[in-house]
Structure 1
Amino acid sequence: MRILYGVQGTGNGHIARARIMAAAFAQRDDFTVDFVFSGRDEDKYFDMEVFGPYRTFRGLTFITSHGQVDRIATLKANRPGQFWQDVRNFDVTGYDLLINDFEPVTAWAAKRAGLPSISISHQACFTYTVPKAGDGIINKLILKYFAPTQVQLGVHWFHFNQPIVPPFVADERLASPSKSHVLVYLPFEHVDDIRLMLEPLTDQQFVCYHPSIKGHYESGHISWNPPSKAGFQHHLQHCNGVIANGGFELSSEALHLGKKLLIKPLHGQFEQLSNVLTLDKMGLCHSLFQLDTDIVEEWLDAPENEAIQFPQDPSLLINWLKQGDLNDTRTLCDALWEQVEYGDKTKERLLTLAI
């Protein structure tokens, strides 16, 4: 079975999810998978070896400034003419299926050619009845037309009785993590703004990763680091909490490892606002709507989260894809949610919310 796999490249979460799928596909001899990424400059991708000879396109993206979407800069940055040329020139001949994680070039190319397609993404869950914040007509249009596919299979922290599967998380929990620091990943904030927030908290060690940092350096109780998959995963395992924007994949990894969360959603980004709403309903995060030292200081004394056991092996999903009945999502969803284990407090919260 030959699969075209399109991945949105603006955030590392989409790529992290695709890495787990790529590693699983690599163990099979009954699949050939070609990966396509769009949404960031080609030289800004890192640790991509698992994908083999992947392709990149400019695609469509958004620009941020100081923790919010800059709509004017976003309009200037996107080139719809080049986008449609890439779609028209993309040859999907020979593929049996498109798997799409909110990537528009492959989605529209498959739509034009009539190639069977399925979204397996966090964005797909927002086409169903799930908690949403800031949901307006523009967001509805984006969800419908940005990366259209024939079938939408959402990925979320709870199924909400919809065609939604849990996230796959590759890391095992360590028996004795050092818990020596707080991990900070706020890629949409300016480094100087993060520094001003953290500098007064001299009794706490912070390890910060940011795409604008070019080389590791120490500044008192703050360690600054450039993007690195291996380094980031190490510090995630050994931290006692995570301060992050409202992306889905990092929150999923933190929940799986039992790390407490302080989340600052990207203003103007519907998905991140909705993620914070869901985590808050489940009692699994504290929120930060502006960079505030006092809120961080208060959160540092908060208790740890109960860990959530999410599936690690996507073989069930891959076998389901090969069977070919993409509309039979119930069988797949039931089997995967049986593998999820919530803590007692989270179970009580879900029952209280009647979801």
Structure 2
Amino acid sequence: MRIAYYIQGEGSGHVFRSLPVIRHLQQSHQVRLIANNKAYKVLTNLGYQVAKINGSSLAYNNNKMNYIKTLINFLESSPEILKMVFSKELKDLAKFNPDLIISDFEPTGFYLGNFLRIPVIAIDNINLITQCKNFEYPIKYLLHFLMAKLITKTWSPSANYYYVPSFIKLKTKKNVELIEPIIREEILKLSPIDQGHILVYLSSKTPHLLELLKKYPQKEFYVFGYDREYTEENLHFRKYGDGFTKLFESASAVIANGGFSFISEAIYLKKPIYSIPIAKHFEQLLNALNLEKMGYGNWSRKANESDLIKFINNLDYYRKNLGEFQRRDNSSFWQSLDNKLLELKQQKERFSYFPQLYKR
């Protein structure tokens, strides 16, 4: 099959989740990669051929999610994106003539697939907000949920089938399959140990947290996310690279924001997690709530000494709960995906003018 794979470039989670899927698909299919922002940079640095597209991004203000600004960004960028999409990208897509589109929360793939009646598969955890029914959250976050649902529906409007990675069991809508989190091969190969240090991985800079960590000189903290390398008291700042995986493998615990992919990998490695979700970011909040519910760690709306002490003092409790987690590889998902690809290929329907819309 010819598969066009669109990847959202906001943060690292989308591209790191997509990498194992891309490698699996390339064993049997022709795969054209289309990405924006960080996803484009990561893939090209790894040697992949990638078509670059413009993309809207989530908006933040003082480490807080700004839903209104995010929607405005999307609307403001839409004319330029549409101009690019319905010229260069549409022409390139016609030349490739895909049997199917896969999108990890990249709007272009969804809109083109729906417009051209090319089957679309969505693979991303954020669609849990729109495609699952019984997740729980405090009522005070209702407005955040409604705004997140609106943005998710805008960026991911419609697909023939949804794969929603999740570490909790939920009821789903029709044409939705809840799957185990997709784990990178690099993580699957690790043999986790505990060498006493704590790994800090921040997509959003949190100076207040760093000051709190200095109050524990008996603990060594390796901090990623500041793109620099130096040591300040018990804080060892490192740039993301090969050293990250080794420090992750040997960490006693981890501290992070609320990104799904990193939390999933930490659970797989059975590392207790202290989560500080980006404020007003409902998806990250939901990840943190589920993390605490499972007993794998705790979380704070804002880093504070009380919650940090609770986390450090209860590491053995979190490890005990994580010890009951059954580690699995991605094989069951590969089987389901392969079957779904064949099914959708047989059902594909296109407008008569595509791909003849452009001469090859």
Aligned to 2:163: 153
Q: Secondary structure at the match of 1:223?
A: strand
TM-score (norm 2): 0.80
1:252 aligns with 2:261: no
Deviation at 1:47, TM superposition (A): 6.2
Q: Deviations over 1:277-323 (max 9, x none)?
A: 22222222201211213322331121223244132345314422332
1:221 aligns with 2:234: yes
Deviation at 1:139, TM superposition (A): 2.4
Deviation at 1:51, TM superposition (A): 6.4
Distance 1:173 1:35, change over 3 A: closer
1:223 and 1:287 map into 2 onto residues whose CA distance is 23
1:177 aligns with 2:193: yes
1:219 and 1:324 map into 2 onto residues whose CA distance is 56
Q: Which amino acid aligns with 1:117?
A: V
Measured on the aligned residues, the alpha-carbon RMSD in Å equals: 2.6
Distance 1:155 1:97, change over 3 A: same
Distance 1:73 1:224, change over 3 A: farther
Unaligned ranges ≥5, structure 1: 329-355
Larger radius of gyration: 2
Q: Secondary structure at the match of 1:68?
A: coil
Within 5 A, what are the aligned runs for 1:1-355? 1-26=1-26, 28=27, 30-40=28-38, 45-46=41-42, 48-50=44-46, 52-71=48-67, 74=70, 75=72, 79-89=77-87, 90-91=89-90, 92-93=93-94, 94-126=97-129, 127-133=131-137, 134-135=141-142, 136-148=145-157, 149-162=159-172, 163-169=177-183, 170=185, 171-172=187-188, 174-175=190-191, 177-190=193-206, 192-210=207-225, 212-213=226-227, 215-228=228-241, 230-302=242-314, 303=316, 304=319, 305-306=322-323, 307-313=325-331, 314-325=333-344
2:288 and 2:236 map into 1 onto residues whose CA distance is 26
2:290 and 2:192 map into 1 onto residues whose CA distance is 29
1:257 and 1:287 map into 2 onto residues whose CA distance is 19
2:102 and 2:114 map into 1 onto residues whose CA distance is 12
Q: Deviations over 1:113-168 (max 9, x none)?
A: 22110111101222211414435433222222212223222111134243211112
Aligned to 1:352: none
Q: Secondary structure at the match of 1:324?
A: helix
Q: Deviations over 1:236-291 (max 9, x none)?
A: 11101111111111111111111001111111111111112222222222012112
1:327 and 1:33 map into 2 onto residues whose CA distance is 18
Distance 1:176 1:194, change over 3 A: closer
Q: Which amino acid aligns with 1:182?
A: I
Q: Which amino acid aligns with 1:106?
A: G
1:145 and 1:66 map into 2 onto residues whose CA distance is 24
1:102 and 1:52 map into 2 onto residues whose CA distance is 20
Distance 1:311 1:51, change over 3 A: farther
Deviation at 1:95, TM superposition (A): 0.4
Question: Is the CA contact 1:237–1:257 (under 8 Å) kept in the aligned structure 2?
Answer: yes
Unaligned ranges ≥5, structure 2: 348-360
The count of corresponding residues between Structure 1 and Structure 2 is: 320
- Using the aligned pairs only, state the percent identity: 20
Distance 1:72 1:154, change over 3 A: closer
Compare the two structures and name the one with the higher helix fraction: 2
TM-score (norm 1): 0.81
